[in-house]
Amino acid sequence: MNSRWDGAVEAGVALAAVLVMVGCVDVNGGAVELSWRVVEVENGMLSQCVEPTMRWKLTTMQLHGRRLSCGGDAAECDCVLPAPWDCEVGHGSTRFQFAAGDWAFEVSVGYEDTPPIVRVPDPIVRQITDGQVAQLGALLVLVGEGQAGMDAGMSRAACEN
């Protein structure tokens, strides 16, 4: 018995166990990744979610996913609402929680104080595959206090009826 080799084997087994545990992710469908930038409509400049010169403060970005391919079962078309992200982060990714199939994704914006006029992108359709990450890309969120060049509607959400 060589204690030097025993120690090396034990260290190797421990390292392998740690690597296996770190690499494990619960995969129950596909995931979605996106990023966003806020653009102030009045001046066309990139803005922060919290803009000291404006009356609005954007707090969160919420992804809404509605399954399009339901297979005749309306319950399978239920909306999925992952936890919202802090607007200032500018990037979000979900768990592997979306069932395989075609999905329509939208974002909505949470805010404090005076509600700004917000325009978010139209729904983005992606095919979700188990174990894969669908990219929604970089989304532009238009925000302003007036109607300058944008619709007057507040941000929509695919999951609100």
39 domain-assigned: yes
Total number of domains in the chain = 1
Most confident listed range (4-8, 32-36, 79-83) = 32-36
pLDDT at residue 67 greater than cutoff 70: yes
pLDDT tens digit sequence for 27-38: 679 999 999 998
- 33 or 45, which is more confident? 33
Pairwise CA distance, residues 57 & 37, whole Å: 14
Query: Which domain, by its residues, includes 64?
Result: 27-144
Instruction: Examine residue 4 and state whether it is found in any structural domain, yes or no.
Output: no
What pTM was estimated for this model as a whole? 0.72
Is 76 within a domain?
A: yes
Angle CA 78–103–158, to nearest 5: 60
Q: How many whole angstroms separate alpha carbon 10 and alpha carbon 159? A: 52
- Structure confidence at residue 140 (pLDDT): 92
CA distance 15 to 23: 12
Question: Among 6-20, 39-53, 110-124, which stretch is predicted with the lowest mean pLDDT?
Answer: 6-20
CATH number at residue 64: 2.60.40.1120
